[in-house]
Structures are given as C-alpha cells and as structure tokens.
Structure 1
Amino acid sequence: MGREMLRALVASCHPVPTAAVTGLSAGLALLAGLPALTAVLVVLAVLTGQLAIGWSNDAIDARRDQVAGRTDKPVARGALGIRTVGLAAAAATVGCLVFSLLLGPAGAVASLAILVSGLVYNAGAKATALSVVPYLVAFGALPAVATLSADPPRWPPGWAMVAGAVLGASAHLANVLPDLADDAATGVRGLPHRLGARGTAIACPVLLFAGSIVVLFGPVWDGAASTTWWRWLLLVALAAVAGAAAVLGSRRPAGRALFLLVLVVAAADLVLFALSGVSRL
C-alpha cells in the first residue's frame, strides 16, 4: 500500500470523529475499572467499528459527494477508489465483529449495536426525519460497551446512557450543520435539514448543555455522590458555553467549530465524572 493511498484512507475514515469516539471508549473503559486486556479489546472494537462506519459512508456517498464537489473527501476527488474504500470498510467490519465477540456476549451486543446504528445511518436513515435515532442508539450504548464487557457484566447507570444519547444527538446536529446546503442539493433531508441552519445551530448547544447537566448531576440523582458547590459553578459555566456556541453556530453554520466543541465538552464530561467522587462507572 502506497503512502498516498494510506493518507487517503486515513482522511476518508472521518478521522476526527473516529479518534474522538475511540478516545471516549478508552476513557469509559478506564472508568469502568476493566482489566488492561479487556480495555484494549473495547478500544479496538470501537475503533474498527468507527473505521467501518467512516469508510462505508464515503463509499456510499461517493456519487453524491462528487456532484456536490466535496474536494475534502478523497473518494469524491478521485484520490481513492470506491472499491478500495469499500473493501477497507468490509475489513474493518470483520475486525469489529471479531473484537466485539472477544468481549463476551453482552459486550458484543453493545459494541455491534453501535456498528449497526452507524451503517443504518449511512444506508439511508441520514436522509429521513429519524436521522438522529442512530446517534441516540450509538452514543447511548457507548458506556454499556465498557460495563457489559466487565466480569461479571453490568449495566451502566441509566443517567450515563441518557447523557450519551443526548450528547450523541448534539453531535449529529453539529456534524451535519456545515453540510446542510450540499446535502440539500443532493436530496438528503435529515432532521437537521428540516430544522434549518438556525434551528440546528440553536438545538445543538441546548442538547449539549442538557447532556452535561445529566453528567454533572446524574451521580447525585443516583445517590452515588453529593451535591457540591463546584457542580453549580460548572453548571453556570456550561450555560455560558452553550449560549456562546448557539451564537457561533448561527453566525457561522458552515464552520466545524460547533462540532469540535461537542467533542471537547464530551471529553470534559468524562473528566468531570472521574472527578465527581463516584468510584467507577
């Protein structure tokens, strides 16, 4: 494999979301107290699943991306063949299946739920009013991949899955926002397209704020932590961030800043949970 093809494959896998979700899985595995080998398998299962989703997205959307003039995508600009990226997606899917099965039955179901959700989104759900559903399922299941891979398997706290799902919905809106015009020109009308640029730019940080509230106060509601002053202080700070993000997104909907903000806040939420006094996920 040549260096140029490898570079094109990396660019085609949607590297920022892939790295971010994989990093979140590593943090969740750590918070779940998994043994080192199991934690590595969790990360590999999530990583290969994200690669499969990213590559299959570019393979399926190749013609549409060419029509829209998406020169940022290697397949659309001819730097990578559709067959090549399709084979890469297939190989990553097999890898995800293998690593998921090594997690045990419960962990495998959670991991493969994320993979299937992404593939369903790519296959056509993205163009419907229910385009957010695969994100709700995938991000909601992410904490469960770690805890259901434990010995014995256990469900994560309900608030953790709710927080993941809400943050996933926010990520969906932020990820699609810059591409609304290109998508509309090629017949894609998912939930963000129906909300419009302004509605999407406002809904995204609102959901981001809501998900962070769940992370901040979920352990309190669960009886696993106490209400402390710093939670309220962070609540005020997050409200300010959400407000600034709404303004930023409405003024510059074509930028990627809002999506990057979602990823940063999701990572910060993991840190907040780790510092919240709860012993483990």
Structure 2
Amino acid sequence: MSAAGLVRACHPEPTAAVTALSGLLALRLGHDAATSALVVAAVFTGQLTIGWSNDLVDAGRDRAVGRTDKPLATGRVSARTVRVALTVAAVTCVALSLALGSAAGVLHLVLVGCGVGYNLTLKRTVFSWLPYAVAFGLLPAVVSLALDPPEWPPGWMIAAGALLGVGAHLVNVLPDLDDDAATGVRGLPHRLGPGRARVAAVVVLAVASVLVALGPGRPPAWAWAGLVVVGGLVVSALRGRGATPFRAAMAIALVDVVLLVLRS
C-alpha cells in the first residue's frame, strides 16, 4: 500500500514523460549509452523531487477538497515516507546532475529548482507559467551541455521547449481549476478562466509545433504531415465539447514532443 502510494505521489505520468523525453534527446544528440543513462537518471531523480515535493506542499489542500487520487490526502502513504523519499531523490539528483559536468549539472539543478519553486509559491501567482517555460526550455540545453565538448542547443529548440512547457502547464491545470480555486490557488490559468485558458493552451502549443517543424532548416515531408495533424487537433480543441478539447490539446503536446525529438 505504502509503495503504491509513494509511486502515485511522485506524479508518475509527467515524471515518465519528461524522463523519456530527456533520454530520446540524449540519443538524438549523439550521447553514448553510458552518458544517456546518466542523463535519464539525473532527470528522473529531479522529476521525483518535483513530484513528491508537490504532493507534500499540497497535502492539506488535497484533503480539503477530497482528492481521492492523492495518496497523502487519503492516507495511502505517510508524509514521513514521502519526506524520506524526497530527501533521497534530491540528494541523488544533485550527485547525478553534477556528474554530467558543471554546466549541464548546474543547469539541471536550476530546472529542478524551477519545479520546486512552482510548488512552493509560483503556482498561486500570475507567473505560474514561468517555471514551466524555463524548465522545459532548459531541458534540451541540459542534454546538449552534457556532450563532450559541451554545446548549447539552437535557439529554436529552447524556444520550442519553453512554449511546450507553457502549453503543458495550461493543459495540465484545466481539470483542476475548480478544486484549485476552492483552496485559494490563483495561477495564470485560473485568472484566464477555463475558456480562455484552453484557447491559450492550444495557441501556444500550435506555435510550438510550427517553430519545431519549420525552425531547423528545410522541413521534411513528415514535418509538414505533423503540422497537418496539429491543424486538425487545433480545430477539435477549439470547437469540441466535453472532454474533447482537453484530449485534443494533450494530443497536440504529444505531437510537439515527437517533432522536437525527430528534429533535434
């Protein structure tokens, strides 16, 4: 019970997604197997640090609104267990990050700091989007700076990552707007309201799609095909009803990730 609750409390879906993205970028940028594994391990422990700190900070709010999907709120895992796991993950993250080299390591710790800063304060402000923009924008740089010799990724990749992060933030918060509002969380999506937040998410993710597909030189045929798919999803996200807009926006984010990896 405690182990399952601990896994659930780390936010396994985004943890797995960001970790997988870092690994795919490492392979595409030419890292050998050992360094790719180190990149994945560092990012994984960083995401665990962010996820567990999020649930610890939000435990009282989650109990107040009856979140049955939150293990700390339902008692499936104790706060002490999560704190111990968080401490181990954070210490391991620092060691693994610095093993990537000083530039990549420090940058990755800045990325993790953005996530923790969001959990502690920024999620309640109009700047709730900023940690996502910085963290997703920096992720390709962490991977490329771990090369020997280190190198910065192209500007389009950083910009596309930042836009993808903002879009992911807007989409991720949409299902929880009511619960958040009931406990005093007033980030950017809450201030926009569900309708405008949905439109903003779709627009940001669509711009990211265009930037990735057209940014790095002459786009291949499959990049144009990706844009056509995104165009259809944009229509579904803006005109659909019920859960369709949310699912379409999530699908756009997925296409953006695929394009980003393939065009890197």
Q: TM-score, normalised by structure 1?
A: 0.89
Mapping 1:11-50, distance limit 5 Å: 11-50=8-47
Q: 2:236 aligns with which of 237, 244, 248?
A: 244
Partners of 1:169 and 1:157 in 2: how far apart? 19
Q: For 2:202, which of 202, 205, 223 is the aligned residue?
A: 205
Residue 179, structure 1, aligned to residue 170, structure 2:
no
Displacement after TM superposition at 1:262 (Å): 4.9
Partner of residue 162 from structure 1, selected from 159, 162, 167? 159
What is the aligned length? 264
Say if 1:256 and 1:55 are closer, same or farther in 2 by CA, change over 3 A: farther
Structure 1 position 233, deviation (Å): 4.0
Once the two structures are overlaid, the 10-residue window that deviates more, 180-189 or 31-40, is: 31-40
Which whole-Å CA distance do the structure 2 matches of 1:64 and 1:89 have between them?
Answer: 19
Q: Is the 8 A contact 2:53 2:119 kept in 1?
A: yes
Q: In the aligned structure 2, how far is the partner of 1:264 from the partner of 1:234? A: 11
Q: Which of 61, 67, 73 in structure 1 is aligned with 2:70?
A: 73
- Find 1:261's aligned residue among 242, 251, 255: 251
Tell me, yes or no, if the aligned pair for 2:140 and 2:153 is still in contact at 8 Å: yes
2 CA distance for matches of 1:9 and 1:182? 22
Contact 2:133/2:165 (<8 A) preserved: yes
Q: 1:262 to 1:118 in 2, by over 3 A?
A: farther
| Equivalent position of 1:111 in the other structure | 108
Unaligned runs of 5+ residues in structure 1 are 221-225, 274-280
Whole-Å Cα distance in 1 between the matches of residues 114 and 87 of structure 2? Answer: 16
If each structure's helix is expressed as a fraction of its own residues, which one has the higher value?
2
CA contact (8 A) 1:170 1:262 kept: no
Instruction: Please give the root-mean-square deviation of Cα atoms over the aligned residues, in Å.
Output: 1.8
Give the superposition deviation at 1:42.
Answer: 0.6
SS at match of 1:69: coil
Secondary structure of 1:71's counterpart equals coil
Q: Secondary structure of 2:23's partner?
A: helix
Residues 72-109 of structure 1, C-alpha deviations (whole Å, 9 max, x = no match): 00001111112221221121111110100100001102
TM-score in terms of structure 2 length:
0.94
Identify which range, 238-247 or 89-98, moves more after superposition: 238-247
Return 5+ residue gaps in structure 2 as ranges: none
